């Protein structure tokens, strides 16, 4: 089955009634977990971005506490999973400030983690890639925010 384009879907949704749209949204939310998470964000968290960021940070804290530190293999696997989740939440928000804040928080947690990420090349490279991505995101923000986030990034790079 070939999926319709976004324009075709948009045109079709314009012709649907309010009840039909409600049914479609509910059906979509039952189909996949990500759809439900996105609808939850759009309905409940879009007006309270700071609360959304706080919730995600607490989830990140919990995920870092659950990391199996017996070997770097399990650490790397867990770090990649955490980063995947963060990227998903960033896609929901689409706000550069949220993206910068969450990536900086992730890098801070990774830097403070024991055993140290400096002892593993892969973890260190993940850290450096996220720092570069954060710099790129921050460069598109307002000058005041660029300065504030730039200071945070510089603190992360100090060993």
pLDDT digits (tens, 9 = 90+) for 9-66: 899 889 999 999 999 888 988 888 898 998 899 889 999 999 999 999 999 999 999 9
Considering the entire predicted model, what is its pTM? 0.87
Tell me whether the omega of the peptide bond preceding residue 48 falls within 30 degrees of 0, making it cis.
no
pLDDT at 88 over 80: yes
**Does 133 or 25 have the greater pLDDT score?**
133
Count how many Cα atoms sit within 13 Å of the Cα of residue 35 in the half-sphere of its side chain. 9
Using alpha carbons, list the distances in angstroms from residue 79 to 32, 62, 109, 147: 24, 12, 10, 28
Q: Determine the average pLDDT of the residues in 96-117.
A: 94
User: Where does the pLDDT of residue 159 fall: very low under 50, low under 70, confident under 90, or very high at 90 and above?
Assistant: low
The interaxial angle of helices 143-157 and 96-112, nearest 10 deg, is: 10
């Amino acid at each position: 089955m070939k999926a319709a384009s976004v324009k075709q879907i948009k045109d079709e949704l314009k012709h649907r009634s309010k009840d039909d749209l409600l049914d479609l949204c509910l059906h979509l939310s039952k189909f996949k977990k990500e759809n439900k998470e996105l609808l939850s964000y759009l309905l409940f968290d879009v007006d309270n971005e700071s609360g959304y960021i706080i919730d995600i940070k607490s989830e990140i804290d919990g995920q870092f506490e659950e990391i199996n530190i017996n070997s770097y293999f399990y650490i790397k696997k867990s770090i990649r999973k955490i980063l995947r989740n963060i990227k998903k939440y960033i896609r929901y928000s689409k706000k550069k400030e949220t993206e910068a804040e969450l990536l900086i928080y992730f890098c801070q947690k990774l830097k403070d983690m024991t055993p140290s990420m400096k002892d593993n090349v892969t973890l260190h490279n993940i850290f450096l890639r996220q720092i570069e991505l954060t710099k790129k995101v921050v460069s598109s923000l307002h000058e005041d925010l660029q300065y504030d986030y730039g200071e945070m990034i510089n603190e992360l790079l100090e060993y």
